């Protein structure tokens, strides 16, 4: 619990000030409980869907043993082993997996959007993961066949509720799917191994398959289950739970000390200050006995193939069924900048040069790219949750992220990763603001606003999974600290605008928020996914990249300025409604447009107003109108 200020604490001991106490505590509660997290409800990595649904399917049935630990680089499961592609293969939604890579089951389909976009409480069978056919026609119950796998509820996502579940079905010879195993939803837990026996005569046919399915409450949470290390083979028993494998379990850390990415020119201006002292990773020994693990890593620049570094082999002893961090001193790259604004990518490869011959080898190598481009970032490009401000209906909300520059640069725009909302947030207007100081932060006596742009709309496009907003006027920035973020006006529900949150962020989040006129440090772990764009001109995300949003009708109005009547022009035959708000967000007029397509504004005071038109529930961008 946050301790109240002394003035409020003293009032607590004086009963006659009870009413004032309640008011004071309400203000404190409002100021300290306005940051919230929610499901991300959208996965732009899967935006385009699986483009080769049948290309790699096996022509003949698989045979045992079957093994999958989802170590591949694709976000979709291997089509040589799996029929569907609804799950999300990744290494960010899980916590401490058996080996790198898991299959995440959630409430999002293979295009990364909810299975049900209208209802907030629908309980449905969501993701499926079905094996390719396996020929068991020559097998018998006496072969002692078991399917084993590791599962984890929650992970870095929202955990599945008790009525949700993860289930395993087995296909009988008559084509009927029979439930063989199920577990109800629960709060986040470590990975746990399940053992399922395949012992019915009905399973031993040439078209046997097994299928994992999760039951999820659509839009209530994203109901995350993570699945890892699936094995199916003969001569196993219920106690055959040993995993003889040493594997990487997490993505290596970025080379940079704080940022995950920055322009190469900014990096070169202060290499020593920007480089992390160590390169970190983690290894799990899944053996039941200690193992001596040898590890090394190399680095190269990807465009030219220029070698940058090769480390000596490092040996360490890792205890049985234990995960241990490893580290190497970070190399100082001696790679010249190809151009002041050019993108530079270093590829760091970690690997085991000596491994036991009998264990899987796909998880013995892991590659991390360190990207230097035209943006500053604290996130890794993936959102596990959404961040939002839960504000009062009459007060705006502000978010600002702190950044630093090692030399002067030009701010050209901002890239924002929006969390998807139901209903869509496309009409929740916001502003982008740039500051050189925030009042009360780092001893600043007042806010210093450098630039602000208004009437922006959130979109769910994909340019590296972000929507890009180009500033109308570039902002010259000096070396040192600046802040960039959003202002969410207190109307049209903009207070609950969702932003992507990378919960794998290590270290401070550099985020501040203002809900009552005072800036506060964010208490939410992770990185709010906003990236300043620096250097050369950037362009707004193309309209053809827009995704999941119905297209509003194009319309115009005249005259503007106007004294008494405003007429609207649009070609659609659909019914239209209008809404006028003042610049404080208060609705001053609304209704339906008749055949004349005009409205009477004589009663309005002179000033600036915003007009929105809606067609069949789809609202377009607002336009300003001046009342004379």
CA-nearest of 426, 317, 450, 360 to 66 is 360
Q: How far is CA 189 from CA 152, 159, 225, 574, in A?
A: 6, 9, 10, 51
CB atoms under 10 Å from CB of 168, counted, come to 21
157-199 pLDDT per residue, tens = 888 888 889 999 999 999 999 999 999 999 889 999 999 999 9
pTM, two decimals, is 0.79
Asked whether the bond before 65 is cis by omega within 30 degrees of 0, the reply is yes
598 by Cβ neighbours in 10 Å (0-12 / 13-18 / 19+) ranks as middle
Backbone angles phi, psi at 191, to 5 degrees: -65, 140
Q: Among all chains, which residue has been given the structure tokens 């959007």?
A: 113
Q: What is the pLDDT of residue 539?
A: 85
What distance in Å separates the CA atoms of residue 179 and residue 182, rounded to the nearest whole number? 8
What is the structure's pLDDT at 120?
A: 57
Say which CATH topology domain 44-241 has. Answer: Jelly Rolls (2.60.120)
Give the per-residue pLDDT at 463.
Answer: 40
CA distance 549 to 344: 34
d(CA 162, CA 194): 19
* CA separation for the pair 299, 339 (Å, rounded): 21
Q: Does this chain's domain 248-372 share its CATH topology with 556-627?
A: yes
% of the chain surpassing 70 pLDDT: 84
Edge-first strand listing for the sheet containing 35-39: 35-39, 385-389, 499-502, 527-528
Q: In this structure, are residues 611 and 579 in contact, taking their beta carbons and an 8 Å threshold?
A: yes
The full DSSP string for 340-370 is TT--EEEEEEEE-SS--TTS--GGGEEEEEE
- Residue at token pair 């699986």: 50
Q: Which residues of the chain, if any, have pLDDT below 70?
A: 1-33, 42, 44-59, 116-121, 218-222, 422-427, 461-464, 490-495, 542-553, 583-585, 595-596, 617, 619-621
CATH topology of domain 556-627: Immunoglobulin-like (2.60.40)
Q: Distance of CA 291 to CAs 42, 45, 366, Å?
A: 41, 37, 19
Contact 492, 378 (CB under 8 A): no
- Where do the structural domains in the chain lie, given as residue ranges? 44-241, 248-372, 378-545, 556-627
Cα–Cα nearest to 413, from 515, 593, 539 = 539
The whole-angstrom separation of Cα 500 and Cα 40 is 7
How far apart CA 127 and CA 133 sit, in angstroms, is: 19
Contacts of 456 (CB under 8 A, 6+ apart): 429, 430, 431, 432, 469
Residue 308 region by backbone torsions, left for phi larger than 0, else alpha for psi between -120 and 50, else beta:
alpha
Using CA atoms, how far apart are residues 61 and 484, in angstroms rounded to an integer? Answer: 55
- Among 3.40.1350, 1.10.3470, 1.10.8, 2.60.120, what is the CATH number of 378-545? 2.60.120
Residue 289: per-residue pLDDT: 94
DSSP 224-259: -EEEEEEEEESS--TT------EEE-SPPPPSBSS-
Q: Do 249 and 152 touch, CB atoms closer than 8 A? A: no
What value, to the nearest 5°, has the Cα angle with vertex 157 and ends 152 and 163?
A: 65
Residue linked to tokens 């006027």 = 473
* Residue 478: Cβ within 10 Å count: 11
The pair of three-digit structure tokens given for residue 122, joined into one six-digit string: 């629908």
One-character DSSP codes across 42-73:
--GGGTT--S-TTTT--SS-B-S-EEE---SS
Query: CATH number of 248-372: 3.90.1150.10, 1.10.3720.10, 3.40.50.10260, 2.60.40.10?
Result: 2.60.40.10
Q: In 13-57, where does DSSP find H-type helix?
A: 18-32
Cα separation, 93 vs 188, in Å, equals 12
């Amino acid at each position: 619990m946050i301790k109240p200020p002394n003035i409020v604490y003293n009032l607590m001991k004086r009963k006659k000030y009870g009413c004032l106490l309640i008011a004071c505590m309400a203000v404190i509660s409002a100021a300290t409980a306005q940051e919230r997290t929610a499901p991300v409800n959208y996965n732009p990595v899967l935006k385009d869907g699986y483009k080769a649904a049948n290309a790699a399917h096996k022509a003949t049935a698989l045979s045992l043993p079957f093994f999958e630990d989802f170590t591949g680089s694709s976000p979709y499961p291997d089509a040589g082993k799996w029929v569907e592609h609804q799950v999300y293969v990744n290494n960010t939604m899980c916590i401490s997996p058996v080996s790198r890579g898991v299959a995440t089951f959630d409430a999002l389909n293979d295009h990364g959007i909810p299975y049900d976009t209208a209802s907030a409480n629908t309980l449905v069978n969501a993701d499926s993961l079905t094996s390719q056919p396996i020929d068991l026609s020559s097998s018998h119950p006496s072969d002692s066949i078991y399917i084993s796998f590791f599962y984890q509820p929650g992970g870095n996502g929202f955990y599945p509720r008790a009525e949700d579940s993860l289930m395993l079905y087995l296909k009988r010879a008559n084509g009927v799917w029979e439930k063989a195993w199920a577990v109800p939803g629960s709060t986040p837990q470590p990975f746990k191994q399940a053992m399922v026996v395949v012992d019915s005569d009905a399973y031993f046919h040439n078209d046997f398959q097994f299928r994992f399915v999760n039951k999820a409450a659509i839009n209530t949470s994203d109901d995350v289950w993570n699945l890892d290390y699936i094995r199916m083979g003969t001569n196993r028993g219920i106690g055959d739970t040993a995993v003889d494998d040493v594997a990487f379990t997490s993505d290596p850390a970025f080379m940079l000390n704080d940022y995950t990415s920055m322009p190469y020119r900014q990096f070169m201006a202060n290499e020593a200050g920007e480089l992390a002292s160590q390169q970190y990773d983690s290894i799990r020994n899944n053996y039941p006995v200690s193992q001596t693990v040898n590890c090394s890593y190399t680095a190269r620049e990807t465009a030219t193939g220029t070698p940058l570094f090769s480390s000596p082999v490092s040996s360490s002893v890792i205890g049985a069924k234990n995960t241990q961090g490893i580290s190497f001193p970070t190399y100082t790259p001696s790679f010249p900048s190809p151009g002041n604004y050019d993108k530079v990518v270093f590829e760091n490869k970690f690997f085991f040069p000596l491994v036991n011959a009998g264990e899987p080898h796909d998880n013995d190598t892991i590659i991390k790219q360190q990207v230097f481009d035209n943006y500053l970032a604290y996130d890794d490009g993936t959102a596990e949750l959404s961040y939002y401000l839960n504000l009062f209906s009459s007060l705006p909300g502000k978010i600002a992220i702190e950044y630093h520059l090692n030399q002067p640069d030009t701010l050209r725009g901002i890239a924002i990763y929006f969390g998807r909302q139901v209903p869509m947030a496309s009409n929740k207007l916001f502003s982008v603001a740039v500051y050189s100081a925030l009042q009360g932060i780092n001893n600043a006596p007042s806010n210093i606003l450098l630039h602000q742009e208004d009437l922006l709309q959130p979109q769910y496009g994909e340019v590296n999974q972000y929507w890009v907003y180009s500033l109308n006027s570039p902002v010259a920035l000096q070396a040192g600290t600046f802040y960039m973020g959003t202002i969410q006006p207190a109307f049209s529900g903009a207070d609950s605008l969702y932003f992507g949150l990378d919960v794998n962020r290590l270290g401070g989040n550099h985020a501040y928020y203002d809900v009552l006129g005072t800036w506060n440090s964010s208490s939410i772990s992770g990185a709010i996914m906003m990236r300043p764009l620096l250097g050369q001109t950037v362009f707004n995300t193309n309209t053809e990249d827009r995704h999941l949003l119905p297209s509003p009708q194009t319309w115009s109005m005249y005259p503007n300025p106007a004294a008494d009547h405003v007429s609207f022009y649009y070609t659609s035959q659909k019914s239209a409604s209008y809404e006028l708000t003042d610049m404080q967000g208060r609705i001053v007029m609304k209704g339906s447009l008749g055949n004349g397509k005009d409205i009477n504004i004589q009663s309005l005071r002179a000033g600036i107003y915003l007009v929105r038109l809606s067609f069949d529930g789809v609202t377009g961008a607002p336009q300003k109108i001046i009342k004379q």
